[in-house]
Amino acid sequence: MKTLFTEEEIKYIGSQLAPHWIYKNFKIQGDAIVAFCGECEVKLTEMVDIEDVINNEPIYSKYMLSFISEQFNIGLVEGVLRQRLLISTIKETLEKRGFNLKRNGDDLFVNNKKLSVSIATKSVNSVLIHTGINILSEGAPIQVSGLKSDLGIDDIKDFALEVMKNYTEEVDDIVLASTKVRGV
């Protein structure tokens, strides 16, 4: 799986969760994960999480680290498993830095305040994952925590690169492990 952290600030509005968005914007073909920072504002019309739409819960963050991944040749259940693997990887990366987090499904919490948003969905030819981690906690419509404002992490790029490295190594190792066994 290929990775990229772009220095370009991008406002995540939900439309980026689309087939070949990574390929079209960064010329990275195939399984990939891209990270970027910027404001996040997902209106109900762009939401793919039907539960959030029903509950009238749009997403907003003044400044967020977003990961978008597109992965091919897998089904939605495996995609959700890979989404949970990404969330667990983020949690482990923060725990190695000495932070205490709780995970509930695909959500991370610090001091009972939500740190992340995440969704996995299926396109006609791939699984798409968006995971956002608040950098700042100010301005959100609910109580949230942030990497910088609450955890004091200043080097967001370094953190993002570490997460992507750990995640892609894990996914690649899982795929490789599936090739070393004989069928019974």
- pLDDT by residue (tens digit) across 52-80? 888 888 899 999 999 999 999 999 999 99
**Would you say residue 109 has pLDDT above 90?**
yes
Pairing type for strands 2-5 and 32-42 reads parallel
Order of strands across the sheet that contains 113-114: 102-104, 107-110, 113-114
The pLDDT, as a whole number, for residue 141 is 85
Count helices and strands (H / E) in the chain.
4, 8
Confidence of residue 19 (pLDDT cuts 50, 70, 90): very high
The radius of gyration of the chain from alpha carbons, rounded to an integer in Å, stands at 16
Q: Which residue has the tokens 């490295």?
A: 165
Q: Which residue has the higher pLDDT, 147 or 50?
A: 147
Res 46: pLDDT: 87
> What would the mean pLDDT of 37-63 be, rounded to a whole number?
90
CA distance 72 to 139: 36
Residue 81: φ, ψ to 5°: -60, -40
pLDDT, mean of residues 1-27:
97
| Homologous superfamily of 2-163 | Bira Bifunctional Protein; Domain 2 (3.30.930.10)
| Segment 96-112 mean pLDDT | 96
Percent of the chain with pLDDT strictly greater than 70:
100
3 state DSSP class of 144: strand
Domain boundaries along the sequence of the chain: 2-163
Q: Looking at residues 155-178, what average pLDDT do you find?
A: 97
